[in-house]
Amino acid sequence: MTDKHVPDPADSSPAAADPSDVQEGANPLDDLRRERDDFQDRYLRKTAEFDNYRKRIERERREQADQAVVSLLQDVLLIVDDFDRALTVDAGGEADAYRKGVELIYQKLSDLLRKRGVKAFDSLGAEFDPNIHQAVVHESSPDHREGEVIGEMQKGYMMGDRLLRPAMVKVAKA
């Protein structure tokens, strides 16, 4: 036989424990506490990561919806421009009924945009601002100051504080 003593698993007395085990894991309760703290730390980190993920997805969803609305409104503004041009033309007496219909549609469209917070802004006479104006023509004008908007080719629109479309303008130069 061998000289080694094999401990009996049924014998759970502290005297039967191997002395090397006692030195490595000083206290099994401390090991369990460390493990619990590690699991709790992991849980808190995963919870925070998920919360950040949820907030990021919600923010991206809102931004995507806002961008879709802005894109649609920009397309609608092109139609408004067409109505503006159509209403500036004098079509004569026989076209009055059509003109009234166009005016009615234009008014409904304008009301819809106003309900959504979309407003045209005035540029004529204002100082040129590259944040809201797009200069398409610079023209010498002794009657106007340098940088003054003297003509508007296309209206600019805002939705609240957000610029939907800059105004296309003619700017005076010295």
Q: What is the pTM of this model?
A: 0.65
In this predicted structure, which of 63-67, 87-91, 146-150, 156-160 has the lowest mean pLDDT? 87-91
In this predicted structure, which of 18-22, 119-123, 144-148 has the lowest mean pLDDT? 18-22
d(CA 94, CA 87): 15
Q: Average the pLDDT over 128-140 and give the result.
A: 95
Closest CA to 129 of 156, 154, 159: 156
Residue 14 has pLDDT above 80, yes or no: no
In contact, 162 and 129? CB cutoff 8 Å: no
Residues 114, 119, 120, 123: what is their CA dihedral angle, to the nearest 10 degrees?
150
* E strands in 8-142: 118-121, 133-140
In contact, 173 and 137? CB cutoff 8 Å: no
Our CA angle for 78, 81, 87, nearest 5°, is: 145
Percent of the chain with pLDDT over 90: 68
d(CA 133, CA 169): 7
pLDDT of residue 40: 97
In this predicted structure, which of 6-10, 48-52, 93-97 has the lowest mean pLDDT? 6-10
Structure tokens at 108: 């409904």
What confidence category does residue 22 fall into, taking pLDDT thresholds of 50, 70 and 90?
A: very low
Q: Average the pLDDT over 86-109 and give the result.
A: 85
Could you give the domains of the chain? Answer: 119-174 (2.30.22.10)
In contact, 170 and 153? CB cutoff 8 Å: yes
Burial of 36 (0-12, 13-18, 19+ CB in 10 A): exposed
